[in-house]
Structure formats: C-alpha cells, structure tokens
Amino acid sequence: MSDPGNYVGSADRSIGQLVAAATAEMSALVHDEIALAKAEVRQDVKRGAIGSAAFIAAGVLLLFTMPMLSFAAAYGIHNLGLGLAWSFLIVAGAFILLAALIGFIGLRKFKKIKPPEKSIASAKQTAAVLQKAKPHPRPAIEADAILRRSGSSLAAGTGVEALPAGKDKASAVARSST
C-alpha cells in the first residue's frame, strides 16, 4: 500500500508526476487482482482434479464389481433350481436387454440433435453479401503508393504511370490533373 507520507510533498509534484504515480498504482492494483484470481483458479483446479480422480477411481471399482455381481446373480438363479448354464444365459440376456435399452435412449437423444440453423443461415447470408460486394475503390494517393512499392512493371500494364521515387504526392496529384 502507499505510504501516507508521500502525499505531504504532493503540492510540489507536477501533474505529469501525479498521473504517472496514479498509473503505476493502478497497474500494481491490476497485477495484484490478477495474481489473486490466478491463486483462486489454481485452488479450484486442484479441487476439481482431486474430485475427478475420485470419480474415476469409483468408476473403475464399480467396473471391477460387475463380473462379481454377474456371477452372484447367475449362481443366485441357479440356487432357485435352474441349471447353471441357463442361469448364466439369463444374466447375459439381462445385460443385453439393458445395453439395448441404454443404446435406444442414446439413439433417440442423438436424433434430437439439430444442426445449428441460426449459424448456418448467418454464414450463408454472410457468403451471399460477400459475393455481391464490390471492392472499395482506393484513393489515387493510396494507389500511387501501392504502385510505387510494387514497381513500375505493374503500372505499365494498367495504364497508370508509376511515380518516380523522388516525387511527392502533391506533385503527383498536380501532374494527374493536367
């Protein structure tokens, strides 16, 4: 922060010095705000990364339990008096039905996705406007400068006389009007 003692002699400081001091303090304030924002974001990113890692670990553990649950379901059906092979086929069929149901729901959601109609219409409208647009005519002074940069070889084919390197724009305008 600023030292209050700096303002005792502030009457002796010029406006330029005061503006420079204010600019420096504003710059320092902005840098401090940016540093604070970076620290907050860094902390949030760290928390998000830890949370994501926890979700991934939970998903992997759940994935590892699926075969165990499948075997348990098959042996549970077998204990009801059905053959072991039929029990495993029933569990497999249940998984196939569950996968088909989830796939059907996903397919319905994908079919509801529409193309970005507003963006497509805007792009087509922009393309139509650009096709109809005519190039903006350049002022004679700007055209002379372009010709001077590109050399007289371009000017010879266009019927426009290139300016010699030593001539200024005023003499070029006076010469073109005669």
Instruction: Enumerate the domain spans of the chain.
Output: 12-113, 133-177
pLDDT band (50, 70, 90) for residue 173: very low
Q: Is the pLDDT of residue 174 over 50?
A: no
CA distance 146 to 162: 9
What is the Cα–Cα distance from 78 to 89, expressed in whole angstroms?
Answer: 11
58-93 tens-digit pLDDT:
999 999 999 999 999 999 999 999 999 999 999 999
pLDDT tens digits, 33-64: 888 878 888 888 888 889 899 999 999 999 99
Is 146 within 8 Å of 161 (Cβ atoms)?
no
In the numeric block, which tokens belong to residue 144? 């002379």
Please compute the mean of the pLDDT values over residues 5-26 and round it to a whole number: 76
Transcribe 6-70 into DSSP letters.
GGTTGGGS-HHHHHHHHHHHHHHHHHHHHHHHHHHHHHHHHHHHHHHHHHHHHHHHHHHHHHHHH
- Give the per-residue pLDDT at 177: 46
Cα separation, 156 vs 28, whole angstroms: 58
Q: Is 138 helix (H, G, I), strand (E, B) or coil?
A: coil
Q: At residue 120, does pLDDT exceed 70?
A: yes
What confidence tier does 137 reach under pLDDT thresholds 50, 70, 90?
low
Confidence class for position 135, pLDDT limits 50, 70, 90: low
pTM over 0.75: no
So what's the pLDDT on residue 90? 96
